[in-house]
Amino acid sequence: HAKGEGKNTFSFFDEELNSASRNRIALEQRLRQVLEKNELLVLYQPKISLATGKVTGVEALVRWNSPEFGMVSPLRFIPLAEETRMIIPIGEWVLETACRQQVLWQEQGLSLTMAVNLSSVQFKSPTLIERITAILDKTGMLAEQLELELTESALVEKPNEATWILEQLRSLGCGIAIDDFGTGYSSLAYLKNFPVTVLKIDRTFVRDLAHDSGDRAIAQSVVALANNLDMQTVAEGVEQQEQLAILRELGCAFVQGFIYSRPVPADELPAIVHTITAGDESL
């Protein structure tokens, strides 16, 4: 026991390392090797236009298939990847993989916009624009087909700098979505100046849409705000027919959610697009 051993407290801390932090350390060590070991994969979730019932795009969502830990959720490893800055190469890999896939589908006659989540760490990187430009060049994807999803927290920290970066992304041709809109701290004054093209209504407001008049008011306000600022709306996490009906009534343009499809591997996506577009009555 380290008690009374003066400065030599190492063994004390060693004993005190609980299993949670041991897991974290193990996770972090393995995370450093995910790219060389080729353990990441990207799933794609369809985005559906409520006006046409057609799939107009997909969102790329990363997964870590670890032989040791199983399928690790991005909610678990993205924060760790951000702390260690591993998110820079990981995010770049996701973006390149998604762009290549978009071009492949395009060549097969499946024209879909590709939404990719961008961490605030990536967003703040001084080489962001160069990296994105290089990936678009390398893959041959049109910037107009790419939509970058950012959270409010990435934007509000330094709003003036953020506006400048967003303007550069917009002049490349990329769309910009604010993800999980309404859950962060973005001020409406800034929102007005951000050259954003899409607001994504967070799943927490969609969940109880049918029974919670507060959530309904929020969803309605986000749609109205987006319309007035010339932005589109996407509702995330739509699971029930009732939610869909309300979102349609509110004038929300696009939806994503398990009611249409979970995120799926690339090879399963074309069949799902056809099923949704054909208007499967089971939905």
Would you state the structure tokens that stand for residue 266, as one six-digit string?
A: 């690339």
Q: Is 261 in the site for ligand C2E (CB under 6 A)?
A: no
For position 236 contacting ligand C2E by CB under 6 A, the verdict is yes
Specify the stretch interacting with ligand C2E by CB under 6 A; choose among 12-20, 68-76, 156-164, 244-252: 68-76
Determine, following the binding rule CB under 6 A, whether residue 184 of this chain makes contact with ligand C2E.
no
30 vs 118, beta carbon nearer Mg ion:
118
CB of 219 to Mg ion, least distance (A): 14
- Site string (133-162) toward ligand C2E, x via CB under 6 A: ----------------x-------------
What is the DSSP secondary structure assignment for residue 264, as one 8-state letter? Answer: B
CB atoms closer than 10 angstroms to residue 241 = 11
Q: How far apart are the first and last CA of the chain?
A: 63
| Residue 152 vs 179, nearer CB to Mg ion | 179
- Note whether 94 binds ligand C2E by CB under 6 A: yes
Q: Please, which of residues 31-50 interact with ligand C2E by CB under 6 A? A: 45
Beta bridge partners of 146: 114
Residues 6+ away with beta carbon under 8 Å from 275:
none
* Beta-sheet pairing, 55-66 with 232-235: unpaired
The candidate with the shortest Cα–Cα distance to 165, out of 199, 136, 122, 208, is 122
Of 30 and 169, the one with the shorter C-beta distance to Mg ion is: 169
Nearer to ligand C2E, 11 or 73 (CB): 73
Question: Residue 76 and residue 187: Cα distance in Å, rounded?
Answer: 28
Decide the pairing of beta strands 198-201 and 175-181: parallel
Judged by the rule CB under 6 A, the positions of this chain that interact with ligand C2E are 45, 61-62, 73-75, 78, 91, 94, 117, 119, 149, 179-180, 203, 236-239, 256-258, 263
